[in-house]
Amino acid sequence: MALANLDLEQLRKKVLAAYRLDDPTLKRFREYARRLRADVRPLRTYAVNAVSFVSADGGDNRLRLDPAAVELVRVVDSRGNQCALDAVPGTVTLQELEQRAVSGNPNVVAPLERLCSDLGKGLGDLSFIIRGLGQSGKTTGALRCYRDIVEWAVLYDLVANPGLQWGGDTILIRDGLLRTKSFKREVFPLIDKRLRDAIATHAKRNVTLSLVGVAKQSAVLGRLAVALELEATFHKPFPCYVRVPEDIEKECYNFDRTWLDTYETTEPEDDGQRLYQSLGRLFLVKFGDQSLDPVWPVDIAEWQVKDAEKILGQLTVDAQQGFPIPDYPMTIQRAHDFAKLTGLEVAILEDLLFEGMCENLTSEQTDRLLRLKHLGRSLAALRYKEA
């Protein structure tokens, strides 16, 4: 609709009338912000080793030469070590993908194999979502779920692999909160227990291993953002943090409690099993020492919340070195730099896909395909987008 045809005065009245109906919601959230402001605590810095891991973004890592398409799943840590690598065809079946967790298979993904082996389950037993492979409208979500499961498998491997030894105080930082919808509610508690046991084993060697998840955004921060700013909740000239009470966090979500609940907050079912999909407790943290520095959502492992001040103080040292995103953990940004694939790298990988397509073609057919690849692009796109 053209602006000239709008009755701005009428529209203004309707917008204001609609806002007034929502005004009680803002007042309620401002009250939440005042509650949080009363509990904000300063942070002191502590020395620590910090290791992060990041999966290369799926949108950037899709190799396509229609009708062929390949999804790259690649997880790299902040030291530049490649923790997991897989190339998944767009037509992959669940049976084929499950072979990634079978020892001795040429396509095995080692961290995934360790996770499935320790749990005594196949890949298809871990998630309902991943069973959507091959179904119209569900394959993309299933591949995204597979990527998330691989990231959790890497976290599990970094904690539970007996061949990995950490020294002193170490923080493992997940790029994202310590909660997921990818695993079944009855499976995630099994992972949680093994992570706790593995960290306890490290503690016996005088190694303190802490788990945190840091996100760039969350439903809680999004819903509270206006209220936090109006109430100047984090307008402090020093790093600070606050734990988000469960009732406030719940108010910000529009889905069930499994995203909130941990082992400590669930009641056993009739069979004695606890069902949940989170192992973190949410904090809002400002790592910078300026009043208007950004605030980030941070999950700390539920069983380590008693050490939250120390863990967040250790994380502050890493975050204050953050670049190009200021006051955001540098290890996550470094891992992202190692993990991301640039346009040139993607082009090279697409050439590898092209070579694979040409393996069983005649030289004449290869020339035709080469001509299509390099000359078959839209002239309009070439003129207007690439000029």
Task: Give the pLDDT of the chain (387 residues) as one tens digit per residue.
Answer: 566 677 788 888 888 888 788 788 889 999 999 999 999 999 999 888 888 777 655 445 777 666 777 888 999 999 899 999 998 888 889 999 999 999 999 999 999 999 999 999 999 999 999 998 878 778 889 999 999 999 999 999 999 998 888 888 899 999 999 999 999 999 999 999 999 999 999 999 999 999 999 999 899 999 999 999 999 999 999 999 999 999 999 988 876 666 788 999 888 888 888 999 999 999 999 999 999 999 999 999 999 999 999 999 999 999 999 989 999 999 999 999 888 877 777 777 777 777 777 888 888 887 877 777 766 555 545 555 554
- Per-residue confidence (pLDDT) for residue 59, from 0 to 100: 46
Phi, psi of 286 (to 5 degrees): -110, 110
- Asked whether residue 158 is domain-assigned, the answer is yes
- Asked whether residue 195 is domain-assigned, the answer is yes
Residues 223 and 205 in one domain: yes
Q: What total of structural domains would you count in the chain?
A: 2
- Asked whether residue 33 is domain-assigned, the answer is no
- Per-residue confidence (pLDDT) for residue 320, from 0 to 100: 93
> Tell me, what DSSP letter sits at residue 130?
G
Residues 213 and 356 in one domain: no
- Asked whether residue 30 is domain-assigned, the answer is no
Reference 239, options 300, 330, 328; nearest CA is 328
pTM value surpassing 0.85: yes
Residues 373 and 278 in one domain: no
Residues 171 and 273 in one domain: yes
* Residues 6 or more apart whose Cβ sits within 8 Å of residue 10: none
Residues 159 and 280 in one domain: yes
Segments forming the whole domain that contains residue 376? 343-384
> Tell me, what DSSP letter sits at residue 377?
S
Q: SS3 for 293?
A: coil
Residues 320 and 367 in one domain: no
- Asked whether residue 275 is domain-assigned, the answer is yes
Residues 249 and 360 in one domain: no
- Per-residue confidence (pLDDT) for residue 378, from 0 to 100: 52
Q: SS3 for 284?
A: strand
Residues 109 and 241 in one domain: yes
> Tell me, what DSSP letter sits at residue 278?
B
Peptide bond into 67 cis (omega under 30): yes
Q: How far apart are CA 287 and CA 189, in angstroms?
A: 31
- Per-residue confidence (pLDDT) for residue 361, from 0 to 100: 80
Q: How far apart are CA 192 and CA 161, in angstroms?
A: 15
Residues 243 and 360 in one domain: no
Residues 177 and 270 in one domain: yes
- Per-residue confidence (pLDDT) for residue 55, from 0 to 100: 64
- Asked whether residue 235 is domain-assigned, the answer is yes
- Asked whether residue 196 is domain-assigned, the answer is yes
Structure tokens at 315: 């994380």
Residues 233 and 373 in one domain: no
Structure tokens at 228: 């936090």
- Asked whether residue 29 is domain-assigned, the answer is no
Residues 326 and 352 in one domain: no
> What are residue 49's DSSP bridge partners?
170
